[in-house]
Amino acid sequence: MSSEGESRFHMVDVSSLTSVHHGDPCDGPRRVMLRTDDGVRIEAVYEPSAASVTDTAVTGTAVTGTDAVAGTAVVVAHGFTGSADRPAVRRAARAFAERGAAVVTFSFRGHGGSGGRSTVGDREVLDLSAAVRWARELGHARVVTVGFSMGGSVVLRQAALERGTEGRVDAVAAVSAPARWYYRGTAPMRRLHWVVTRPAGRLVGRYGLRTRIDRRAWDPVPLSPVEAVPLIAPVPLLIVHGDRDAYFPLDHPRTLAAAGGGAAELWLERGMGHAENAADEELLARLGDWLTRR
């Protein structure tokens, strides 16, 4: 990223978040650069709940300090080739804020203004954990995650791997997530594998899709989403999937829900396609209600 781009962000080292505080989170939207446990810089955006803004407009009294940030923060994990500034991500963030939550959005490594290269769901767990810990450092007593497509696989794995740590979460929603790795059963997934595994494909990813992809294969292969699900309980878990998803057929969400042993909630959405671009306002409102009330 250019030095001009770097000036838009404030650097936060998440390894020492407990000793860092930068103003009142209620002052308005804030952009920072987080640093993950493996040293990658991740761009992130914090937006306070729209409810406090509404309260100020109606009553003339702003909610400030600890009371304003004690509620839920929703951390949004985008899909492959997305970023914090993509319109679909911003639309989801607005919808969640309107349901009374503060919202943290960020760009995974290799995406947007973040550093590093995409590992397509493996080390992205570290990016999400940095964002979750930042939300807790800002004072939020309850932090929940929602992820779309690749981000859906990441929120599942992160919830399983960060149990009992500062990166723990209080509820998880995975939208359009795969159940297993290396799936090539649909044409869009075969194209995605070409982009990820072939040199020419990675050039298309970098210059056509604005996504920088690591050329190295997974070693070892990370815990799969379906293997992660049984480890999440008792944290509330929601699986959401469209019946017109062109990437992953309905056996993926059904497999994920079944792995929860009855503890996972499953929403199969009629007419919905894939990930954040296919999530309409009504679904986002229901998701926001679930995330803030579970």
Cα torsion 286, 175, 281, 100: sign: positive
Query: How far is it, in rounded angstroms, from Cα 66 to Cα 165?
Result: 22
Query: How far is it, in rounded angstroms, from Cα 60 to Cα 43?
Result: 33
Percent composition of the chain: helix, strand, coil (DSSP 3-state, to 5):
40, 20, 40
The answer to whether 96 touches 165, Cβ cutoff 8 Å, is no
DSSP 8-state code for residue 110? T
Query: What was the pLDDT predicted at 294?
Result: 82
The DSSP bridge partners found for residue 12 are: 34
The DSSP bridge partners found for residue 242 are: 269
Amino acid at 179: A
> From its phi and psi, is residue 104 left (phi > 0), alpha (psi between -120 and 50) or beta?
beta
How far is C-alpha 265 from the geometric centre of its chain's CA atoms? 19
User: What is the SS3 string spanning 37-67?
Assistant: CCCCEEEEEEECCHHHHHHHHHHCCCCCCHH
Which CA distances in Å does 5 have to 31, 35, 82, 209, 220?
12, 16, 18, 19, 34
Structure tokens at 88: 């679909």
Query: What was the pLDDT predicted at 29?
Result: 85
- CA atoms lying within 13 Å on the CB side of residue 217: 8
Cα torsion 90, 238, 213, 35: sign: positive
The answer to whether 134 touches 17, Cβ cutoff 8 Å, is yes
Query: What was the pLDDT predicted at 27?
Result: 62
Query: What was the pLDDT predicted at 239?
Result: 98
* pTM for this model (two decimals): 0.88
Query: How far is it, in rounded angstroms, from Cα 199 to Cα 215?
Result: 8
Structure tokens at 255: 């497999």
Per-residue pLDDT of the chain (294 residues; tens, 9 = 90+): 333 333 344 455 544 333 233 445 556 789 999 999 999 999 999 999 987 544 433 333 344 444 444 689 999 999 999 999 999 999 999 999 999 999 999 999 999 999 999 999 999 999 999 999 999 999 999 999 999 999 999 999 999 999 999 999 999 999 999 999 999 999 999 999 999 999 999 999 999 999 999 999 999 999 999 999 999 999 999 999 999 999 999 999 999 999 999 999 999 999 999 999 999 999 999 999 999 988
Query: What was the pLDDT predicted at 100?
Result: 94
**Diameter over CA atoms, the chain:** 58
Q: Please give the radius of gyration of the chain, using alpha carbons only, rounded to the nearest integer.
A: 18
Q: At what angle do helices 87-98 and 50-59 cross, to 10 degrees?
A: 50
